[in-house]
Amino acid sequence: MKKPRLEIDKLGITSNMTSSEWSNADDVDFSEVFVASAETTYDVINSKINDGKHIVFQPGVYNLTGTIEVTNPGCVLLGLGMATLVSFTGQTII
């Protein structure tokens, strides 16, 4: 997985982001990633974040009863397709 580097005061496109170059991204080993499904609870997601994992949300509707707390700087949350996070309790989602 590639993780784009942070850009500050950026306007316009990022050069060197073609699939053959990726000079403005860091490699993330997939062992550092947790793939969530719609059945995954917020507390499991929080536990994986606390373990230092990045989160990939598969397509689906995530009916969450609590808040996902991103406590690690640089943690990536990536939604694939139509990953929809819904709060059942009215709490903040992230």
Residue 4 near residue 27 (C-beta atoms within 8 A): no
Per the model's pLDDT, the better-predicted residue between 3 and 57 turns out to be 57
pLDDT given for residue 18 in this prediction: 59
9-65 pLDDT, tens digit each? 778 776 665 555 556 677 788 899 999 999 999 999 999 999 999 999 999 999 999
> Given this model, what pLDDT does residue 2 score?
67
Distance CA 5, CA 21 (A): 14
Q: Are 94 and 77 spatial neighbours (Cβ–Cβ below 8 Å)?
A: yes
Q: What pLDDT score does 66 carry?
A: 95
Q: Is the dihedral of CA 10, 13, 16, 17 positive or negative?
A: positive
